[in-house]
Amino acid sequence: MLSLEGKTAVVTGGGSGIGKAIAELFAQQGAKVVVADLNEGTAKEMVEHITSKKGKALAMVANVADQAMVTEAINEVISKVGRIDILVNSAGISHIGRLDTTAEADFDRIFQVNIKGVYNAMHAVIGHMKEKGGGVILNVASVAATLGLSDRFAYSMSKGAVVSMTLSVAKDYVLDNIRCNCISPARVHTAFVDGFLSRNYPGREKEMFEKLSKTQPIGRMGKPDEVASLALYLCSDEAAFVTGSDYPIDGGFVRLNT
């Protein structure tokens, strides 16, 4: 069950956070994992970690906002391993600010990474997947796409776009045997969260961590491994009948807070 043996999976943002957990779990389940990350050192460290546990992996250095760079990297992967069966778009950045406090430069940066980055990666693999007879695309959105979050204007906008792109791709390529879904986590405890708290709430990290944790009705933040488990199911053959869906994984945040 949930075996990815014989499949090649590209995971953007695979060197840290949720992407790292997904890359590791997919490798455990037999996939050859392409760890795509902006940071070459981080990508190579993850590859070494996977291979030290008898997994199969290679590093792909790419700025997802740069279409030419992403396309070249994807084509290089295909030339090396022959095929790409799964694409997980996990690379993303956050931003704090309302409409009137969001500078144009920050808005553009969020757009380039969170929206155009997902477009670039899907654009680079879709022709190959059609030619090979199918594939799976999984995008990492957010509960912000459904609810909107206070002081997260640009971030919420970007994740709403991810959900819309997911539905569009699922509909346009369903007859090509390409499935496309997305997952929408609430707050997940990663190194990003710890860094955010230390930068913005020095000396109050523990207090703010508990406050943010309790915004989920379940009373805690999610774990990257929990998100990875849902990603594994949606990218496996067991989910062959699932496409065009957004799956919240949020400790009850969406349904129990409304």
Structural domains in the chain, sorted by start: 8-188+223-256 (3.40.50.720)
pLDDT reported for residue 258:
62
Report d(CA 168, CA 153) in Å as an integer.
23
pLDDT reported for residue 25:
98
Could you tell me the two tokens for 118?
Answer: 């997902």
- What sections of 185-257 are H helices per DSSP? 191-200, 205-213, 224-235, 253-256
pLDDT reported for residue 130:
98
Report d(CA 154, CA 47) in Å as an integer.
32
pLDDT reported for residue 1:
87
Question: pTM for the complete prediction?
Answer: 0.95
Report d(CA 54, CA 24) in Å as an integer.
11
- Decide: 250 and 215 in contact? Cβ < 8 Å: no
Q: Which residues are catalytic?
A: 155
pLDDT tens for the chain, 258 residues: list them. Answer: 899 999 999 999 999 999 999 999 999 999 999 999 999 999 999 999 999 999 999 999 999 999 999 999 999 999 999 999 999 999 999 999 999 999 999 999 999 999 999 999 999 999 999 999 999 999 999 999 998 888 999 999 999 999 999 999 999 999 999 999 999 999 999 988 898 889 888 999 999 999 999 989 999 999 999 999 999 999 999 999 999 999 999 999 998 876
Please identify which residue in the block is written with the tokens 């430069």.
Answer: 105
pLDDT reported for residue 109:
97
Report d(CA 191, CA 197) in Å as an integer.
10
Residues 6+ apart with CB under 8 A from 119: 165
- Pairing type for strands 86-89 and 178-185 reads unpaired
